[in-house]
Chain A
Amino acid sequence: MDKPIYRKPIYREGNASYNDSTLHYIRQAAEHGLYEIRGLGAKRQLPTFDDLTFLTASASRYPLEGYREKCDTKTVLGTRFAKNPIELDIPITIAGMSFGALTANVKDALGRAATIMGTSTTTGDGGMTPEERESSKQLVYQCLPSRYGFNPDDLRKANAIEMVIGQGAKPGGGGMLLGQKISPRVAQMRTLPEGVDQRSACRHPDWTGSDDLTIKVNELRELTDWEVPIYIKVGATRVKNDVKLAVAAGADVVVVDGMQGGTAATQQVFIENTGIPTLAALRQAVEALEEIDMLGQVQLIISGGIRTGADVAKALAMGADAVSVGQAMLMALGCNSPTYFQDGKEIDASEGYARLNTAAGYCHHCHTGQCPVGIATQTPELEQRLDPDWGARRVKNYLQTLNMELTTLARACGKSNVHNLEREDLAALTIEAAAMAGIPLAGTNWVPGEGL
């Protein structure tokens, strides 16, 4: 009789403190002696707009006909001081992303799609390219701490100015563009040596405190003869104080970027450990405007992880006048897609992802400049992987879908104008979301923290 085979079981006890990603982090730190830099936004699980639901019409409210009755999406930004406020057909704008981080083709595609859909796009930390000015009917010109390529001629061509104090991916931190992406054209626009690892300032060079900001905003007004709106963008941290200070400084529009907001390159420690979720940031921004009686006078744009028409509708219901979308626009263009389209053909991008030690769906390697789908690069061969005609169509389709979803939900809530969506139309699905958004938990009248 054969001896029984004894198989010693391998017991794998999970370790929540030192899990795969922590082990990977420690090994990387030990190997490189530098913090990890990456692109995109926070990947950790956070309360989001997914944790809210609409209380659409029934016996107590009546809905509008989905295909027959009009639902207005017109959005006006900058009504406080600007002689020429920005008038948009939809409340979904394209967020500031730099030429340098992205190719000129991508900036062109975003501009063209925005123009077709009647919305605005935004420059970034690298100045205004002629391509994006040409293709964008409404272009917001960012004034950033680095002031790379910032000049009065482009300032006068802008439809609005966005004073950037911070962004959700890295509130309190400066921009970053690694040497691989400082091509001759990028270097020339930014007055930098080619190939340098650019680490921008986190504070503006010509003002510091909020009193100075007031004077700076006034200078921008004077420079542009009070014609165009001035936005102030903050990364979401002490949102209530920052929104009030932005309003006190004279902003026409306040842009609040939550912690899911993206970047093309920053320290991972920043992306995952700073700021507050967009959901919480929006609630605090609206409350700040209410407390100083400026709701409706100063417009509010929320950004950071807006992906769907439902996200847009919920943001508007919570009190935003518009949303701004960055990362998802790039995903519409093929970011993290397994394939790209070149010369009319669909081509497998797996090899490109593999070269970066990643795979489609997991890539956040915008900082390397080796984008396998030709979006976040300055390498001529890779740039060819994104055809601007094809890209513009994709972004236009995506914007159109978001807008259709937005109006579908608004009509179902009985609203003939998407800006009439209100907090009362929402319920929260989790206690965390109820607490952060200040929206009652579904099936209750309970808002955690209320009345305390």
Chain B
Amino acid sequence: MAALENKHFDLGAGSVRDLNQFLHKELPASGIKHIEIENPDGQHSIAVGLDAPVEIDILGHAGYFIGGMNKEANITVHGNVGWSVAENIMSGSVRVKGNASECVGASGHGGLVVIEGDASSRCGISMKGCDIVVGGSVGHMSAFMAQAGHLVVCGDADPGLGDSLYEAVIYVRGEIRGLGADAQIEEMSEQDLSTVQALLQQAGFDYDPKTFKRVGSARQLYHWNADAHQEY
């Protein structure tokens, strides 16, 4: 890759504000295809609001809202992240090489989020069409009120999984320690197997899709029903 297509940004010297301003205003027309961000040092809101096909490597641990509302960019964090990585992601991808704290991909509308380690609670909360693949385990209440998209968990899932699910689908390879209200374990169809296969491939994990269980919505909370036990 030509030197002009690469850029280094040192967050030890410059600010997150300077970085994001550059990413929003100058990057799209710059021809730059790859950006390395050094010394993130747990700072928040790094590389939010991207709207360009660029590869971004964040070299270290980062804070909250990394890659928030991402479009088109492919962001990799070489470390751990705080809350709500890739919140409201629209397209492109965000990959975390380490672990992620709470609310991974919250309300994500599209694109792919990969957590190579573990993700804490409410992973995939309110997701609206994005795909999330977690190499390790997820915390409690993951995919809470998830509306569309897929959450693939290669490890275990803590209690309250898929509480109040809409049409999003969860696949878990390990132990399911408890389902949330209106979530149920369902048969894996051929379509499910190919969906899991494709997502694992994109995420770079080599597991047999047949070892995953499918969790979907029983759709009993879709309408008011006086005779059902009211969770609300």
Asked whether A152 lies within 8 Å of B224 as measured between CB atoms, the reply is no
- Cβ–Cβ < 8 Å partners of B221 in chain A: 199
Scan residues 139-186 of chain A and give those whose CB is less than 8 A from a CB of chain B.
146-147, 150-152, 155, 179
Q: Which among B48, B106, B107, B148 is the interface contact of A223 at CB below 8 angstroms?
A: B48
Q: Which residue of B is nearest A176, CB measured?
A: B232
Verify A32–B226 contact, CB threshold 8 A. yes
Contact (Cβ within 8 A) B223 A179: yes
- A191 and B147 alpha carbons, distance in the complex (Å): 7
Contact: A205 with B44, CB < 8 Å? Answer: no
User: Are B106 and A205 in contact, CB atoms less than 8 angstroms apart?
Assistant: yes
By a CB distance below 8 angstroms, the chain B residues around A223 are 20, 45, 48-49, 68-69
Asked if B212 is at the interface (CB within 8 A of a chain A CB), the reply is: no
Q: How many positions in chain B have a CB within 8 Å of any CB in the partner chain?
A: 45
| Contact residues of A: prevailing secondary structure | loop
**Chain B: minimal CB distance from A150 (Å):** 6
Complex interface residues of chain A between 215 and 267 (CB less than 8 A to chain B)? 215-216, 218-219, 222-226
In the complex, the answer to whether A191 meets B109 with C-beta atoms within 8 Å is yes
**In the complex the two chains form, is B65's CB within 8 Å of A206's CB?**
yes
- List chain A residues, Cβ under 8 A from B84: 205-207
* Chain B nearest Cβ from A390, distance in angstroms: 35
Q: Which residues of A contact B210 (CB under 8 A)?
A: none
Are B51 and A152 in contact (CB-based, < 8 A)? yes
What is the distance, in angstroms, from B135's C-beta to the closest C-beta of chain A? 22
- Interface positions of B from 35 to 78, Cβ below 8 Å from A: 44-45, 48-49, 51, 63-65, 68-69, 71
**C-alpha spacing A207/B21, complex, angstroms:** 24
Q: Is the CB of B223 within 8 A of A147?
A: no
User: Contacts A146-B126, A147-B128, A201-B126 given: A219-B44 contact, CB under 8 Å?
Assistant: yes
Chain A min CB distance to B102 (Å): 9
Known: A34-B226, A150-B88. A219 touches B125 (CB 8 A): no
Contact among B48, B226, B230 with A222 in the assembled complex (CB-CB below 8 Å): B48
| Alpha-carbon distance A270/B25, docked complex (angstroms) | 45
Identify 21 residue pairs between A and B in the complex whose beta-carbon atoms are under 8 Å apart, listed by A's number: A33-B227, A147-B107, A152-B51, A152-B71, A191-B166, A196-B166, A201-B145, A205-B87, A205-B103, A205-B106, A206-B88, A206-B106, A207-B83, A212-B64, A215-B45, A215-B64, A219-B65, A219-B87, A224-B49, A225-B20, A226-B17
For the A-B complex with A152-B51, A215-B44, A223-B45 known, give 7 more contacts whose Cβ atoms are closer than 8 Å: A147-B88, A191-B166, A192-B147, A201-B144, A206-B84, A215-B45, A215-B83
